[in-house]
Structure formats: C-alpha cells, structure tokens
Amino acid sequence: MGWLARLQPLVGDDSRVQAWLAQARALPERDFYRSIAPHMPQLAFGCYGALRAAAARRQEREVRWLVPTLLTELHTALCLINRR
C-alpha cells in the first residue's frame, strides 16, 4: 500500500489510486492479514536463499547485488504488514 500511495498515474484518472487505497483500508484487519499470510514468505525468502547461496559460493559481486534487493523486499513486507 505504501508503493500504491506514491503512485502517480501518467494517463487516466488519478482518483482511482485513492479509491484502491480506500478499498484496501476498508478491509477488516483480520481478513486483510488472512489474505496476505500465505504470500508473505514469497516476499523475502527467495532472495534470502539466493543471498545465502551466493555467500556460500563466495560470489561477492552477486552478494552486493542481492543485499539491497533483500532489504527492499523486507521493507515491502513490513509496510504490507503495517498496512502503510
């Protein structure tokens, strides 16, 4: 929702973004968490596994690329959990 709140459409009606945010915020908290729970591991675990594998193989260049990606994915997951 954080990324969505910053979205500025180049074409079309920008009030649709606000409508989507309102729709997401109107969802009861329990239903919201129940709907995202199955998808949370996909947000960071794939990148984390790749990072560990690159570190085990001592691929420093790959590690340098994966660390910011992992941090972005964790940030996105936390924003989703906090509904921000």
Instruction: Give the list of residues 6+ apart from residue 27 with CB closer than 8 angstroms, or none.
Output: 35
pTM of the full structure: 0.61
pLDDT score at 18: 85
The answer on pLDDT for 1 being more than 90 is no
Give the 3-state DSSP-derived string for 31-60, with helices as H, strands as E and coil as C: HHHHHHHHHHHHHHHHHHHHHHHHHHCCCH
Residue type, 31: D
DSSP string, 11-22: SS-THHHHHHHH
In this predicted model, what pLDDT tens digit does every residue of 5-41 receive, in sequence order?
777 778 878 788 888 888 878 888 888 888 888 888 8
Closest CA to 50 of 76, 72, 69: 69
The answer on pLDDT for 48 being more than 90 is no
